Amino acid sequence: MEIIEQIKTSKSIDNQTEIQKICLHKLQSSPLPNPKSELWRLSNKSKFLNFLDYSINEKDPKFDAPYPNTSKSNIRLIIGENCQINLIEKNYSIQHLSEDALVKYIKEQISCFDQNENWSDLLNLSLSCTKNILGLKISGSKIPPIEIFSHASSNALNAKTLVIFLEKNCDIDLLQVNLGKDNSSLSQSTFFCLEENSSVNHGVVSYGENKSNLLNSLNVIQQKNSEYNLGSLHFKFNYARFEISIKQSEGNAKTNIKGMQITKKDEQISTYTKIDFRGPNGFLDQINKSLADDKSHAIFEGSIIVPKIAQKTDASQLSRNLLLSNLAQIDTKPQLEIIADDVKCKHGATISQLNEEELFYMRTRGITLTEASKLQLSSYFQEIISFIPVSKDRWDLLDKLLNEN
């Protein structure tokens, strides 16, 4: 209950937005997630409580993006800072969602929320003040790549919300970067709505600093003939959860996901995905990779739901994991829930260590064990990193990963 009291005391009832009031009301009956539920049973309780331990902060200090140099043609937006954008060009437009449209959409989403499954979103929307919610409506093609940053402040709990509407036939590359700070918690919720024939290459890169925490949830609704490609990477958080929910609302849509989490020291990072096919001819190709070192813990739980209406679904979910230490732990559980009888669905999981014979081969060519391990890890990372849009930054990112302690 403490977090709810904290939210309530941080602002008077008159200053709360309508959305905050609705979410707070919902949270009151479920002040903490159910630790016995499938989604939360492996979550480290003390780390999660540490997430909630920081005082709520709505004001951000000046932000110097440490993220690799952006290209001049990219559009860079920082949630919570000056996010005014109103671009109407020949081929495309990027505009703010009107407040009415934004509230209407979020309220619709909340009405479908399950208190336990969407606990992170409810918390986020209870915390997010208007300034920290960015809503965009994007249309057209040949749009410059967009980068959107969310960042935490030291010794504080920050919440940022992003809502994006892609109009019909729209096509974009969007990179979302979530940055933790020393001793901080960041709650990030993202809502994506892809209209017919729209397509997005969406990158989510989240990296923290010492003792930073992250609750990151992503809700995607795909209308027919849309294509959603997600490349994600989470690393260097004391505690992080990435919760992905994708609904192919009418089927006939394509989803490709390549995600990775890297844990070291005593970190815990988890990814939960729920892909819900609500019409026929849906397609999913998903691979999730975890790499766990030291005494860390990585978790992947994926579910694919194929009801009777979703005939001819073609879905594949693979979890590949690399365990670098005897004390590290990986839990993985890809699962299928199929009612339809004419579908092609497969899932699988592997856990392995660095390949000894590959290492020996490289060492017989004069490459040191450290370099050989780096080369091997680099090949493990590349499949995911090459899927993250905004190519200029990929190699800086790979470099950062390989040279992290």
Distance CA 310, CA 282 (A): 7
List the beta bridge partners of residue 322: 291, 352
Between 95 and 378, CB nearer to another protein: 378
# chain residues binding another protein, by CB under 8 A: 22
- State yes or no: residue 101 binds another protein (CB under 8 A): no
Cα dihedral across residues 169, 248, 260, 161: positive or negative: positive
Running DSSP on this structure, what letter comes out for residue 56? B
Instruction: Report the candidate in 303, 306, 300, 299 with the shortest Cα–Cα distance to residue 281.
Output: 306
Distance CA 207, CA 235 (A): 5
Distance CA 66, CA 290 (A): 25
Distance CA 392, CA 173 (A): 13
Instruction: Report the candidate in 264, 266, 277, 127 with the shortest Cα–Cα distance to residue 189.
Output: 127
Rounded to the nearest 5 degrees, what angle is found at the Cα of 392, between the Cα atoms of 285 and 390? 40
- State yes or no: residue 104 binds another protein (CB under 8 A): no
Between 111 and 352, CB nearer to another protein: 352
The least CB distance from residue 318 to another protein, in Å, is: 15
Between 34 and 378, CB nearer to another protein: 378
The least CB distance from residue 364 to another protein, in Å, is: 5
The least CB distance from residue 382 to another protein, in Å, is: 5
- State yes or no: residue 383 binds another protein (CB under 8 A): yes
The least CB distance from residue 116 to another protein, in Å, is: 39
- State yes or no: residue 380 binds another protein (CB under 8 A): yes
Q: Taking CB under 8 A as the rule, which mask of x and - marks residues 345-374 in contact with another protein?
A: -----------xxx-xxxxxxxxxx-xx--
How big is the chain, counted in residues?
405
Distance CA 29, CA 350 (A): 39
Between 363 and 392, CB nearer to another protein: 363
The least CB distance from residue 374 to another protein, in Å, is: 10
Which of 382, 395, 396, 399 is the binder for another protein (CB under 8 A)?
Answer: 382
Distance CA 149, CA 134 (A): 11
Between 218 and 377, CB nearer to another protein: 377
- State yes or no: residue 378 binds another protein (CB under 8 A): yes
Between 101 and 375, CB nearer to another protein: 375
Running DSSP on this structure, what letter comes out for residue 97? P
- State yes or no: residue 196 binds another protein (CB under 8 A): no
Between 9 and 403, CB nearer to another protein: 403
Cβ–Cβ < 8 Å for 93, 140? yes
Residue 177 has which token pair? 């970067």
Between 227 and 383, CB nearer to another protein: 383
**Which position has the token pair 């920082």?**
78
Which of 379, 402, 403, 405 is the binder for another protein (CB under 8 A)?
Answer: 379
The least CB distance from residue 349 to another protein, in Å, is: 19
Cα dihedral across residues 142, 78, 245, 297: positive or negative: positive
The least CB distance from residue 386 to another protein, in Å, is: 9
Q: Which stretch binds another protein (CB under 8 A): 45-53, 195-203, 213-221, 380-388?
A: 380-388
List the beta bridge partners of residue 270: 241, 299
- Residue 397's H or E segment, with its range, is helix 394-402
Bridge pairing between strands 283-292 and 314-323: parallel
- State yes or no: residue 44 binds another protein (CB under 8 A): no
Q: Which stretch binds another protein (CB under 8 A): 39-47, 255-263, 301-309, 375-383?
A: 375-383
Residues at the interface with another protein (CB under 8 A): 356-358, 360-369, 371-372, 375-376, 378-380, 382-383
